[in-house]
Each structure stands twice: as structure tokens, then as C-alpha cells.
Amino acid sequence: MNKNLQSLQWMAPGGNLGAYMQGANSIAVLSVEEEKALAERLYYEDDVESARQLVLAHLRFVVHIARSYNGYGLPLADLIQEGNVGLMKAVRRFNPEKGVRLVSFAVHWIKAEIHEYVLRNWRIVKVATTKAQRKLFFNLRGAKKRLAWLTDDEAAAIAQDLGVEVKHVREMENRLSARDPGFDAGVDDDDEEAYQAPAQYLEDRSADPALLIEDADWKADSNSRLASAISGLDERSQDILQQRWLNEDKVTLHDLAAKYSVSAERIRQLEQGAMKKMRAVLEA
């Protein structure tokens, strides 16, 4: 299913952005009934055509969100493309049984992909390394009433509105106003001089033996707890989880329903029940 959704990336805006946006706006909006029918076919039957129609019908919404990030100096076409990736992820995870519209569920995934793209491409070092700093980064531009430096009262008001300290507002303002000079030498990667760039001598913190051991221990403990939780389930529940979540080639609810001679809804109930039991074991 993931490969099939990835094939939908032809909808990313190309050279003619205006034509793309016009085409996205020309696609009809789905009614509640149409959206629910498509979502159910995708959720229960892994119907790729339903996924395609759901994505197409919500492209205009991605364009609307992407436009709100124009102030970061990044190409609108790239912002839209990243937003489309988030939309496809949302469509893949959308559960029609929750009783909400896809657009309400997808907004988180669309913004998350655009946020990551903005932060990856914003060239000021460590512009946003914590949740509070990210919130401040994406809100400070809109909060500033003018291009000049903030007064003490304005900085205090923004800090109160965003739930951060005044010093963090000042620090982020300095970062957003700074220039980011080149750090590496302007030579080709295959040139021997490239290895003399300062970046080549930075410490690789990911190679810390203590951190590597700690990470390995954590993964081993997590895998052990997961195996213990699965072993406490009955054989049918283990098989359902294995084929729905752990195997590389995942099966549909209908495939398992045919295997066990029950309805797809019954398989869904068994799956949810098994997940709850595992969650209880893992949390304990």
C-alpha cells in the first residue's frame, strides 16, 4: 500500500505552478457520504483508486496551507509538494470509523511535513531545537507588527501569548534577523581540498560509545517487552497482529475474515482488543 501511495507523487507541482493550482481547485469537493464510502473502501479493502480520489479531492487544501508558509523564503512548489506527502500519509492512516472528516485529520500531517521541510532548509544553526522554540519560530513572524526590532512591551506580549520567556523571544528574533555565512569551502566533493573544510573536523556525537550502548540496550528491552506482550495473546490474535502490522506484505481485514470465516468487522474488533492488551502490558 505504501508503494501505491508513493506512486501518487506525480501530483507534485511541476514547472507551471499556476496551472497546477488551477487544476487542484477544479477538482470537486467530496460530500460527506462520498468521502466516507471512499475511506471505507480504502480502510477495509486497501483500494488504491479510493486513495487516489481522496488525495486528489484535498489537493486544494494543501495549497491553502502551503501558502501560509510563503514568508520563509522557500519555493511555494516545494512547500506544496511536502504538504502533499503529509496528505498521503494522512490518507493512509485515516480511520473512517472515528466520525471525523479527512480534512480535520489531515491538517496535522500536512503541517508536520511542511514544518520539517522549513526547518531542514532554514540555514540558521540550531534555529529551533525544542518544542517551545519551534512554536516561537513559526509564530514570531506573524506576531511582529512591523519589520523593526521589537520593543520591550511587544516582546513581553509575544512571550505571554506563546508561553515562552522574553529572553527566548529576543534570541529567536536575533536568529531570524541574522545572516548565515558559508561554512564549507566552495569546492567539489571529489576535490582533495574539500576535506580541509572546517565541517570535516566537527565532533560526531552519534559515535559516542556510551550513547550507542544505551541505544542498543533500549532497543533490546523494547523488543523483549514487545515479544512478551505478543506471547500473552491467543494464537488467532497473534496471527492477526503479525499479518496486519509485522509482516512486510500486510494483508487486509477481508483476507483475514475469509481465513477465519468471520466478518471484517469482527477481525477489526479482535485487532483492537489485542492492541489494547499489548498496550496494557507495555505500559505496566
Average pLDDT rounded to a whole number, residues 192-214: 55
Residue-wise pLDDT for 32-56, tens only, equals: 999 999 999 999 999 999 999 999 9
Residue 269, pLDDT > 70, answer yes
In the block, residue with C-alpha cell 501558502: 67
Average pLDDT rounded to a whole number, residues 11-30: 78
Residue 236's pLDDT band (boundaries 50, 70, 90)? very high
User: 206 or 214: whose pLDDT is higher?
Assistant: 214
Residue 71, pLDDT > 50, answer yes
Average pLDDT rounded to a whole number, residues 233-258: 87
Most confident of 53-67, 159-173, 193-207, 232-246: 53-67
pLDDT at 159: 76
In the block, residue with C-alpha cell 505478543: 230
Q: Are 77 and 67 in contact (CB under 8 A)?
A: no
pLDDT at 18: 83
Residue 3's pLDDT band (boundaries 50, 70, 90)? very low
Residue 6's pLDDT band (boundaries 50, 70, 90)? very low
Q: Between the CA atoms of 167, 168, 174 and 178, what dihedral angle is there, to the nearest 10 degrees?
A: 150
Residue 279, pLDDT > 90, answer no
- Lowest mean pLDDT, pick from 16-20, 60-64, 96-100, 198-202: 198-202
pLDDT at 223: 75
pLDDT at 68: 85
CA distance 104 to 85: 16
Mean pLDDT of the chain: 76
For the chain, percent of residues with pLDDT exceeding 70:
67
pLDDT at 10: 43
DSSP state string for 12-59:
S--S-HHHHHHHHHHSPPPPHHHHHHHHHHHHHH--HHHHHHHHHHTH
Q: How many helices (H) and strands (E) does the chain have?
A: 14, 0
Residue-wise pLDDT for 141-151, tens only, equals: 555 545 456 67
Residue 140's pLDDT band (boundaries 50, 70, 90)? low
Phi-psi label, residue 276: left if phi above 0, alpha if psi -120 to 50, beta otherwise: alpha
Q: Are 82 and 114 in contact (CB under 8 A)?
A: yes
CA distance 200 to 198: 5
